Structure 1
């Protein structure tokens, strides 16, 4: 993982950053600040943040200015080119280490000294089995989890079309297909993680983090809509003609002053004593 091109990741990064729930980020920062204070009083160990499926480093860029400056980051992805991109874009500003890693083998990820595991727009692509194995791996290590921007199945447009409900239903069905980690949880990811984490003694907080897109996000909306075609064709409920008609309507509506799109996401923070 990630399998996404850097152009798409760059396009979505501003929308992701605006969508992140600020209350959850504040709670996370307070937690890590207190942990660093405890570590410095009793040990010389540093606080590590492990970022799964890091892509070009967007999670670091979103959080680094708010998190304690003594935080060190381990950025993991299976895409070597994206890791190079992350190193280039972050440069000397961050205390980072990059690691090319097949995240399917999550049990092999070394979490020694890691205080927090993060992932953004990731767990909705993962299976129940993967998420359960991750929880089983992080709990004995004492790691918290910050899982941001998990798609939750909500898509709404201010300018309606008769096929909107059918499109969203088919898209959400496709989100449950295998994305590289087994049959994906899709919109159910945050709820599944929350249940599993609470069962292992975590305090879990869930908050909404929706994209709100208008004409200023025209290029992102266009690329986003283009990504519907293949999933809708694969599900097969709608004909190719209906799909193209819906896409043409949606693309044309992007520039309308009364047009906006909300894409629902959920942020999750799981901590324990």
Structure 2
């Protein structure tokens, strides 16, 4: 496992799906030259210290000097765009499956890598029936925030309760999902490896529970007023996401295969961010991270990327820039087992 040297100058692990790879500093001189300031790039999340209490919820071993923390400021900034982007079309087949789970006495929902709990705030009020959310994350600060800010009522007014489990979130075993009605996550698949996605699919199949996995980056960006450098930045960014065997923009296709191999029915729907003048803060942060990751991957881009970024940020500040950042949502409907629900 590579070590994280997360500083306020590192590209955020999750700037529009950008994983700040441990041991690799971003080319932030490019970013800072465009718009200097302590908040110009939000400090990102690197892998955290050794996972805590639950050995069935482990990802990779981490060194003792690795820094914790997803940037809560970034998670807060992106939450409205995430909520607007998530696919409503996948909710009806999910509701039908949940309503027909054998032995249902309320829903047990596991939220993997919950961060500040935005997925629960979006989904819980859209599902009927009593719900118990199990929030998984490595960061105790974020777990506390997610629990405090969780919704208290389902769509029909039924009670929603939460518990927190500190630990890594990819190598789930069926034991960790015992009794689960649903596994959900947001912006997770693209920072997993093929093996980890296959393990997740097997765990969901073993538990007989569906999985709703939203906002995986698709590797495509559309900007108003196209620029010849757009395609090069996009390609370099996508390569950056694949570092260390991570799936990046290939995540959804790999996940479709993995869940289908476990006998699940898989549905995919687009869930793009649509960023405009009402999203200036988010768009500016995403631009900095997107270009910064591309330059880190291909340093030869730096000379041309600096004026490119400055021009894009100026257009953003003037309310003249629109961006479509493509993501995909995936619903995997595993074959139910007698113990689910």
Tell me by how many angstroms 1:108 deviates: 7.9
Given the two structures, how large is their TM-score scaled by the length of structure 1?
A: 0.90
Q: Which residue of 2 aligns with 1:193?
A: 255
Work out whether 1:133 is the aligned partner of 2:199.
yes
- 1:60 lines up with 2:60 in the alignment: no
| Equivalent in the alignment of 1:207 | 269
Gaps of 5+ in 1: none
**Equivalent position to 1:267, from 300, 310, 329:** 329
Where 1:23 maps in the other structure, the secondary structure is coil
> How many Å separate the matches in 2 of 1:258 and 1:244?
19
Structure 1 SS opposite 2:309: helix
The yes-or-no answer on 1:168 pairing with 2:230 is no
User: Which segments of structure 1 move beyond 3 Å, counting only runs of 4 or more?
Assistant: 91-94, 255-258
Deviation at 1:226, TM superposition (A): 1.7
1:87 alignment partner in structure 2: 147
Greater shift after overlay, 234-243 or 78-87? 234-243
Residue 103 of structure 2: aligned partner: 39
Q: Match for residue 118 of structure 1?
A: 184
Task: Please show how residues 187-266 of structure 1 align to structure 2 within 5 Å.
Answer: 187-256=249-318, 258-266=320-328
Q: Flag the structure with higher helix content.
A: 1
Q: CA deviation at 1:115?
A: 1.5
Q: Compute the displacement of 1:203 (Å).
A: 0.7
Is the Cα contact below 8 Å between 1:29 and 1:66 reproduced in 2? no
Residue aligning to 1:51: 111
Equivalent-residue separation in structure 2 for 1:98 and 1:68 (angstroms): 22
- Given the superposition, is the C-alpha separation of residues 120 and 229 from structure 1 closer, same or farther in structure 2, using an over 3 Å criterion? same
How many equivalent residue pairs?
263
Q: Equivalents in 2 of 1:200, 1:239: separation in Å?
A: 42
- 1-side partners of 2:78 and 2:268: how far apart? 22
How far residue 133 of structure 1 moved from its aligned partner, in angstroms, is 1.2
Measure how far apart 1:122 and its partner are.
0.7
In structure 2, the CA distance between the partners of 1:272 and 1:109, relative to structure 1 (3 Å rule), is: closer
Distance 2:199 2:139 in 1: 22
Per-residue CA distance 1:42-98 (angstroms, 9 max, x = gap): xxx542111100001000001111112312110100111100111121275531111
Q: What value does the CA root-mean-square deviation take over the aligned residues?
A: 1.9
Alpha-carbon distance between aligned partners in 2 of 1:236 and 1:157, rounded to the nearest angstrom: 21
Q: Secondary structure at the residue paired with 2:222?
A: strand
Q: Is the 8 A contact 2:197 2:255 kept in 1?
A: yes
Deviation of 1:135 (Å): 1.4
Q: How far 1:255 sits from its partner (Å)?
A: 4.0
- SS of residue in 2 equivalent to 1:22: coil
TM-superposed deviation, 1:158: 1.2
Q: Is the 8 A contact 2:171 2:200 kept in 1?
A: no
TM-score, with length taken from structure 2: 0.73
Name the stretch that deviates more: 122-131 or 233-242. Answer: 233-242
Look up the SS of the partner of 1:241 in the other structure.
Answer: helix
**Cα 1:92–1:210 shift into 2, 3 Å:** closer
Deviation at 1:39, TM superposition (A): 2.1
Distance 1:132 1:239 in 2: 35
CA contact (8 A) 2:277 2:319 kept: yes
Q: CA deviation at 1:241?
A: 2.2
